[in-house]
Structure 1
Amino acid sequence: MLRISQYLREVAEAERTGAWPVPPPARGAGRPTRPVVIWNLTRRCNLTCKHCYALSADHHYPGELDEAQMLAVLADLKAYGVPALILSGGEPLLSPHLWPLAARARELGFHLGLSTNGTLIDAAMADRIAAHGFDYVGISLDGMRAAHDRFRRLEGAFDRSLAALRLLRERGVHIGMRYTMTAMNGEELPALLALMREEQVPKFYFSHLNYAGRGNIHRGRDARFEATRAAMDLLFETAWQAARGGEPHEFVSGNNDADGVYLHQWVRARFPRWAAPLRERLVAWGGNASGVGVANIDNLGHVHPDTMWWHHDLGSVRDRPFSAIWEDRSDPLMDGLQRKPRPLEGRCGACPQADICGGNTRVRAQQLTGNAWAEDPGCYLDDAELGLATETAGGPDALA
């Protein structure tokens, strides 16, 4: 995840003071970094969204972890030093184990997030969420009313999700809007950014379409590169205006770590004297975190490098603790993800910006070519921008 606002606030402070600010200390400095764990408590969902990586539907899925198993996993995660949990689904509010797990996670001191479609949140549910002390609740809005309802395949979904944001905001819960851009809803971004301001939502998460689950089925509708660049330009400009004005709004992006390279170019074109220190910060960030800074446990207890890798099983928490699975580098994919630099091939292997993006999203390469180390087909920068000597056959123009 690229914390756009964080970096642009540093640029804004540098512009104001004439010196690049001292960056905050890195999380986990001086000790091994443990991943943030995204935990799909259930696969069941009341929606069947067009881009769902879990291929969820509204029925029971047999074999899911029971409450005792979940609490045992939670204890292992705490002992291992995992700092944060994001409880997801399916729709996590449909899991009978959400509340005892969340309560215990708070007792153990985890930073605790909840990822929900919001359609099941009424006043009573909002009270319950607030009482459990979630540090963050993200609710997906993939367009204004017509577009969102079409994307989510439920008439009235937009109104219910927007009402949920309002109910949680009124109760002091830290909330955010989540938006996944595809060719089906790319024109919705300006209106959603305006809605964020109108509704006083403090955080906006922009997700690129990734090739997993229904997102893989619909990848032919992925927004093409010019649309992606236009969207990022708008997001960067919106985040810059907020940073320059001292506003607290947060803008982040995910599932395409080329955004870090593009942000560096965006800043270099406008504030060239801060390009070098910003690049240092982006290299320290390191781009794609799959298998390193982020992990996934699915509803059946299988561990994956992240949520987009459900087709690649690292092992089950029924058989081995999460900590043992995560430390095991005998799996070739995990070994490659945890190498620095990664064993990238093709255009990504030759790219001088790979130290920023970390090779971008490996699952897109794997889904398209069968090779997790091939060049990422989602990179929207051309060879000249990346500093490659010549256009390669696999460059963006060839994939557009």
Structure 2
Amino acid sequence: MLRISQYLREVAQAERDGVYPQSRRGGGNSGPVVIWNLTRRCNLTCKHCYALSADHDYPGELSFAEVETVMQDLRAYGVPVLILSGGEPLLRADLFDIAARAQTLGFYTALSTNGTLIDAAMAARIAAQQFDYVGISIDGTRDTHDKFRRLPGAYDASLQAIRLLHAQGVKTGLRYTFTDLNGQDFPALLRLMKDEAVDKFYFSHLNYAGRGNIHRGRDAHFEATRQALDLLFETAWQDALAGSSRDYVTGNNDADAAYLLRWVGERLPQWVAPLRQRLVAWGGNASGVGVANIDNLGVVHPDTMWWHYPLGSVRERPFSQIWSDRSDPLMDGLKTRPRPVQGRCAECQYFALCGGNTRVRAQQITGDLWAEDPGCYLDDAEIGLSAEAAERLSARVPLRPFSHRASSIPIRTEV
């Protein structure tokens, strides 16, 4: 996740003070942020769901006792944050017991929900539980969102949830996945964020997992992506200048860091060097390193988009052992610095701050974990590709629509 507001606030402070602010990075190592799909059951069947969730029970989900045991291991391993997700986590009967235990253990505890099940009573219960943050998915204006979520009335229910939580003083955020089906609604959602006094906006690029892989033919065209990010950056910049506490972040396309650096360079080139240092320290894609996923059955994945790639089960080995094990070729490559990426990603001048972008897209398109990310929207000149390198690499890996006839691609792990 790229914290756009954090970096633009630093640039705004540099403009005011004449010197770039010192890093406030904390000391010591910590475990990854863990996104935990406590249940796969969901009352929606969204077009871009990486979990392929539906409204029925899924046998074999972790019990409360198992969840508690895993949480103790996570805390001992230094995991700072738990994001409780689904499916729809509010459909899990012991969700609030799990949240209470997580808070007792000292985790920053967030809730990721579609919001449609939050009425006044549920909003009060969420507020009483004192979640640190609640993220609610809104993927467009009313008609667009309802088509995305495949439920008439979903938009109104989710918007009402935001208002109810806001009235209870709960820190909330909008989560938006950008595709060519809903890109036209992005400006309206930024206005909605301000109108409803929402604290955070999470702009997610489409990643190729679950239904998101099936619908990858609807990934936003590169120029539309750039236009959307221009608007996002400008909005965040104006908020930074005004001292607003609203936060804007992006995820699932680490080329955003390079594009942000170029955006600042065109407007305030004197701050490019220190900003680049910050972005290199951030390190780009965090799969397998700074972010982890545990699914509803207790299987560990490098992140939520790798549900088709199991690393091991917490029923067989503690998370800490699974996460530290580099015998798996994907995990070894993800933890290697620099990562063993190939193609134009390896030749890119922004490789140090992007980390080779999202490996899932490369694998889903080519079968090769370390091929170039076909979702990078920067052209060869922008990434500093020499004429010789461009000729040697030939054409880019194309973005191909999903085909059921080629839905199973062998995974090549060798470098």
Q: 2:360 aligns with which of 359, 363, 381?
A: 363
Q: Distance in 1 between matches of 2:308 and 2:394?
A: 28
> Do the aligned partners of 1:302 and 1:313 also contact (CA within 8 Å) in 2?
yes
Report what 1:8 is aligned to.
8
In the TM superposition, structure 1's runs of 4+ consecutive aligned residues that sit over 2 Å from their partners are: 390-396
Q: Aligned pair 1:248/2:245, yes or no?
A: yes
RMSD across aligned positions (CA): 1.0
TM-score (norm 2): 0.94
Report what 2:21 is aligned to.
21
Q: Aligned pair 1:393/2:394, yes or no?
A: yes
TM-score (norm 1): 0.98
Partner amino acid, structure 1, of 2:76: A
Q: 1:153 aligns with which of 150, 154, 160?
A: 150
> Do the aligned partners of 1:364 and 1:378 also contact (CA within 8 Å) in 2?
yes
SS in 1 for 2:381: helix
SS in 2 for 1:206: strand
Q: Aligned pair 1:111/2:108, yes or no?
A: yes
Report what 1:379 is aligned to.
376
* 1:277-316 per-position Cα deviation (integer Å, ceiling 9, x unaligned): 0000000001100000000000000000000000000000
* 1:76-133 per-position Cα deviation (integer Å, ceiling 9, x unaligned): 1111110000000000000122111100001111001110000000011111111111
Q: Distance in 2 between matches of 1:346 and 1:340?
A: 17
Report what 2:345 is aligned to.
348
Most deviating of 204-213 and 10-19: 10-19
Q: Distance in 1 between matches of 2:40 and 2:376?
A: 30
After TM superposition, the structure 1 = structure 2 runs for residues 1-400 of structure 1, keeping only pairs within 5 Å, are 1-26=1-26, 29=27, 31-390=28-387, 391=390, 392-395=393-396, 399=399
Partner amino acid, structure 2, of 1:187: Q
Q: Distance in 2 between matches of 1:99 and 1:319?
A: 26
SS in 2 for 1:119: coil
> Do the aligned partners of 1:106 and 1:133 also contact (CA within 8 Å) in 2?
no
* Structure 2 residues not aligned, in runs of 5+: 401-415
Q: Distance in 1 between matches of 2:108 and 2:126?
A: 15
> Do the aligned partners of 2:365 and 2:399 also contact (CA within 8 Å) in 1?
no
Q: Distance in 2 between matches of 1:239 and 1:132?
A: 30
- CA drift of 1:234 comes to 0.4
Q: Distance in 2 between matches of 1:394 and 1:286?
A: 27
Q: Distance in 2 between matches of 1:93 and 1:127?
A: 14
Most deviating of 71-80 and 38-47: 71-80
Partner amino acid, structure 1, of 2:171: H
- CA drift of 1:394 comes to 4.0
- CA drift of 1:17 comes to 1.3
Q: Distance in 1 between matches of 2:257 and 2:281?
A: 11
Partner amino acid, structure 1, of 2:4: I
Q: Percent identity?
A: 70
> Do the aligned partners of 1:2 and 1:257 also contact (CA within 8 Å) in 2?
yes
- CA drift of 1:352 comes to 2.0
* 1:142-193 per-position Cα deviation (integer Å, ceiling 9, x unaligned): 0010000010000000000000001111111110000000110011100000
Q: Distance in 2 between matches of 1:357 and 1:95?
A: 36
- CA drift of 1:399 comes to 4.8
Aligned length: 396
> Do the aligned partners of 1:66 and 1:97 also contact (CA within 8 Å) in 2?
no
* Structure 1 residues not aligned, in runs of 5+: none
SS in 2 for 1:383: coil
Q: Distance in 1 between matches of 2:91 and 2:330?
A: 32
Q: Distance in 2 between matches of 1:58 and 1:319?
A: 28
> Do the aligned partners of 1:347 and 1:394 also contact (CA within 8 Å) in 2?
no
- CA drift of 1:48 comes to 0.2
SS in 1 for 2:345: helix
Q: Distance in 1 between matches of 2:29 and 2:155?
A: 42
Most deviating of 387-396 and 34-43: 387-396
Q: Distance in 2 between matches of 1:291 and 1:300?
A: 19
Q: Distance in 1 between matches of 2:349 and 2:95?
A: 44
> Do the aligned partners of 2:115 and 2:136 also contact (CA within 8 Å) in 1?
yes
Partner amino acid, structure 1, of 2:301: H
Partner amino acid, structure 1, of 2:226: R
Partner amino acid, structure 2, of 1:201: V
> Do the aligned partners of 1:64 and 1:299 also contact (CA within 8 Å) in 2?
yes
> Do the aligned partners of 2:217 and 2:399 also contact (CA within 8 Å) in 1?
no
> Do the aligned partners of 1:382 and 1:395 also contact (CA within 8 Å) in 2?
no
* 1:18-60 per-position Cα deviation (integer Å, ceiling 9, x unaligned): 110112124xx2x333100000000000000000000000001
> Do the aligned partners of 2:30 and 2:80 also contact (CA within 8 Å) in 1?
no
